[in-house]
Each structure stands twice: as structure tokens, then as C-alpha cells.
Structure 1
Amino acid sequence: MIKPDLNLPARPAMRGRIAWAMRATSAKVNYEWALRRPGKPPFIVLTEYPRSGGNWVRDMVADALQVPAPRFSMFPITFRAIIHSHDHRLIRGHKAIYVLRDGRDCFISHYFKNRNAARSADAGIRASILRHHPSLNGKLSDEAEMNAFFEEWTRRASGSRANWATHVTSWLTNTPPNVTLFRYEDLRSTPEAALAAGITQLKGSPAPDEVIRFAVLRNTFEVQTGRKPGQTDETSTKRQGLAGAWKQEMPAGLQDKFAGRFGRALELAGYRI
């Protein structure tokens, strides 16, 4: 009788599923630890609604604080670091960062990112996107597709268990002092001043000017992409790097629909309708 070789390597697909499950579990454990045992974890929690600029802000803050920002860790984080989440549940009593961006820009960014992914050569990626957003199956005109995507996005966009209004309302209603707010638009218009103010709140003392300048320059859109803000690459997850692009890219009727659906949240977040 031939004995099976138990030392054979796992199939690539199986290894991928195991790695994905480990990363997802690790991220959940990190967040639940901070949520349920505030003050105990050694890390700072950064959360955002997807496409709010969280990766960019995470890397700038990590550079300014001189701490790691581990991505896709298969194990829970047990050291001083910045961890990144999209969870909408407000964390009290533990050092946290909330990244805020105009929901209309989040929508536009989410739409183009998912539309590009839905046209991916990877069948698994396509299936994952179309499960949340069947409107991106390529059968609709551009405007009809964006309108249909909006209806899906308002219920539950890929990457978040809550829609934009629920997410920002959770974090901006009676925000506790343990939460430092970084606004995307401020970081685009006055990056050094906005980053310095946030770091001072996080640390309780200011960071040296040269450290802030280094963190900003190391993470500019130009350095990350080789393009200037506004130069569009439809295939990139960093598509434009602009604030306010929704005014040109969202049809007028959809702008009105967004304001009608999410006007209260826009006002709470400090954005003009």
C-alpha cells in the first residue's frame, strides 16, 4: 500500500484561502481587542470609510511617529504600530484615528476602483466585485451604471459593513477625546499643518518640523504614482489624488440624489450640500 506524502506543499489556491482567512481573523482580533479592552493594545487604531485616503494617512502618521504600519498581517499585532481598519464601530478610551472625506468623493473613487476591478482578468476578483455590485457587469451605459452602482453603494459597498452616512455618523456624533480626526481635504490643501496638528493631538506634544516635512514629502501623490494630482490613471487604485472631483464626475441628478439621501451626514461632517 502506497502511503500518501503528507509533506506535499499546499496547493496555491488553498494557501491563498488560508492566508486570506488568517489576515481577516488577525484584523478582526486587533479591532475587537481595542474595542473591548481599550488602553490595553499597544497599537493605534486608524479607521475610515473605504476610499477616504486611509492608506495615505496611515503611512504619513506612521512616518511622523516613527512606528511601523503593518499591512496584511497574518497574526494579531502585539507591538507599537498603526493598524488600519474600515470598521464603523466607535472606539472609546483607546487611541484612535478617524480619516474623514467628503462622501461624494468616496463614492466616485469607489465607483471607478470597483469598475476597474470588475473588468479584471482575474475571475475571482470579478466575482467578488459583482457579488456586491452587479451593476458593473458591463451591460449598462456609463450614466445608468453609475446610478445603479449608487443604489448598491448606499446599501452596502464592498469593503464596509455600513454605508457612508452610518460610518461617519458613528464616529462624529459625540466624538470622544481619544479620537484624532484627519480630514482628507485639509491634508491635500495644507498637508504639513494638518498632519502636525493631528500628531500633536496624538502625542500630546508637537513633532519636529523636519519630521512632519519628511512624512509629507515621502507620501506625496507624485512620489507614490509618478503623476501630478489630477492626472488620471483609470487602472490605478490611486486614480487622481484630488479633493472635490465629484463636482465634475458625478451627474447633476446623482448629486441631488446624494444630497437627498445623505444630506444630514454631509452637514454633520462639515460639507456643503
Structure 2
Amino acid sequence: MNIIINKSESLMRYLMVHHLSEVIPLYIVNEYPKSGGTWVSQMLAKALNVPFPQNRFPSLRSSIMQGHYLNPWGMKNIVVVWRDGRDIMVSWYYHCLFKHDCGKNAALVDIVSNDLQFKKPEDIRNNLPIFIEYSFTKQRHPRFSWTDFVHQWYQHPGIVSVHYESLHENTVIQLQRVVWELTGKDLEVEKAAKIVEEFSFVRQSGRKPGEVKINSFLRKGVVGDWHNHFSQEAREVFNHFAGNELIILGYENDTTWVNSEEITIATK
């Protein structure tokens, strides 16, 4: 029964996103996994006063639809959330190898664990180069890589772009900008500030940014965590598959980061 419900929900979302986003209208928050799309969706839903039917069957009304879409066909009102691909790899590793306390990623963990057969999943520093290569060449969900996503959506016409890092730096201003570019309406700074506080990492997780809970969807809440986990080999593997995309998105000016001195970042 659950399989039937899940398939029906996926079909409904597909039809709504690709056929009805302009008519209803829907506001589509699109991301590569672990880029902050849920956070953006929560804040936008509050700012626009529309529902965010996360993990439940959507209804035919104006709402936030968040997902990982590669094919832009028929989609309107799109917010694309970008994040440094190196940070994504770290967050995605934990999401794929450790079951959340809510259990919603259990099936994915079983698939990836079976594919990679890591004897010690907690040894992320040694495992990460293999995981990075897997994510760019063999992963089964989603069936596209971060570089595929970048090339499909970078400079795609008509989208509103927001970077995870910019949101961390000044969430209120970025939320106001996204609402304006998406709807042409002003979001008052007082309302924006209240929304940002309501959906802050501290409020939702009960922890300060940088305090880790491995089996939580909200694991750490920081920018630049890749510095803590990338070995020299991981840097080289990531650069091989996605070094150019880091430059395209403005996260690096060149490839000197690959051999630069390693640093540790606790919070940012």
C-alpha cells in the first residue's frame, strides 16, 4: 500500500510541476540534494502564505513544491538553490550512509551501503574519495550528478538563484530578494526577520551551528565543512569531476585550492 501511495504522490508531483506550475501557480524550489532546499521552501511558504506539502500528498492549490529536477520542461516560478559542491559531497555522504532518526532515508542508505560496502562508514576521510567518484559516475538516486545539475540550470532563463552560503551570511536580505524576484512583491523586513528566526538551525534542531548530530537531517548547519573532511585525494577526485563547475558558480577562481594548505572550520 505504501508503495502505491508513494508512486501516486510522485506522479502527482510530476504532473503538477511540469504542467501546472504557471496555472495554479506553484513555486518550485529546485536543488541538488543537500543544498538547503528544504530550508528555503519553509521560509518561502511562510513568506508567501502558501502550504509546503513536504512528504505528504500535494493538493491542487498554490503551494511550494521542492525537489531535485533536472528537466526544466514546463516549469515556471523556479527558485534554484546553489551550494558549494564540496560541502554537498560531505552532507550527501552522511545522508547516504547514516540512517536518520526519523528513518526517511533508510531505503537510500541500504542501497548506497550495499553498493559501496564500506567496512567503516564513519571513516569519512578515507571513504570520501570513493564516495565522490560514485556520486559522479554510478549513483542511482538521483540519476544525475551535481555537474549535470549545474550545466542544466546555470544561467537557465527565468529562474531565481540563491546561494546557500549567501543565505547563511544574510538570510533576511536574501529571503526578501527571492520573494521580490519571484513575485514582484515586497517582504517587510520585520516579517522576514521573524520567518528567519522561526526556521533557523538553532530553533529547528535545538543545537548551535557546528554541533553535530550524525543521524539528523539537520546534521551540522555550517558553511565550509568540506575543509574538515577532504583529504588530498578527495580534493583531486572532486577536482577531476567538478573543478570547472566550482569556477563556473564562483566558488573558486582557479584550481589552486586543490593543493592549498588544509584548514579546519568549526562554524561560519
- TM category, shorter: 0.7 to 0.9
Q: Which runs of 5+ in 1 are unaligned?
A: 1-14
Deviation at 1:263, TM superposition (A): 1.3
Tell me whether 1:219 sits opposite 2:205 in the alignment. no
SS in 2 for 1:185: helix
Show CA shifts across 1:208-258 (max 9, x none): 111111111110000010001101111111110011110111212211221
- Of the candidates 81, 94, 97, which is equivalent to residue 115 of structure 1? 97
Deviations, residues 11-53 of structure 1 (Å, cap 9, x unaligned): xxxx22222222222222222215xxx6224211111000001
The structural deviation recorded for 1:91 is: 5.0
Aligned pair count reads 251
Query: In the alignment, is residue 131 of structure 1 matched against residue 111 of structure 2?
Result: yes
Q: Which has the larger radius of gyration?
A: 1
Which shows bigger deviation, 40-49 or 227-236?
A: 40-49
221 and 120 in structure 1: CA distance in 2 versus 1, 3 angstrom threshold: closer
- The aligned amino acid for 1:228 is K
CA distance in 2, matches of 1:87, 1:254: 27
Identical-residue share of aligned pairs (%): 25
Does residue 54 of the first structure (1) align with residue 34 of the second (2)?
no
Superposed structure 1 runs of 4+ greater than 6 Å apart: 119-122
Q: 1:82 aligns with which of 64, 71, 82?
A: 64
Deviates more, 1:218-227 or 1:128-137: 128-137
**Per-residue deviation, 1:138:** 3.8
Question: CA deviation digits over 1:78-103, x for unaligned, max 9?
Answer: 21111111011235672111011111
Q: Which amino acid aligns with 2:85?
A: G
Q: Is the partner of 2:98 in helix, strand or coil?
A: helix
Instruction: Report the aligned-residue RMSD.
Output: 2.5
Q: 1:228 to 1:125 in 2, by over 3 A?
A: closer
Q: What letter corresponds to residue 50 of structure 1 in structure 2?
A: P
Gap regions ≥5 residues in structure 2: 256-268
State the TM-score, normalized to the length of structure 1: 0.83
CA distance in 2, matches of 1:126, 1:138: 16
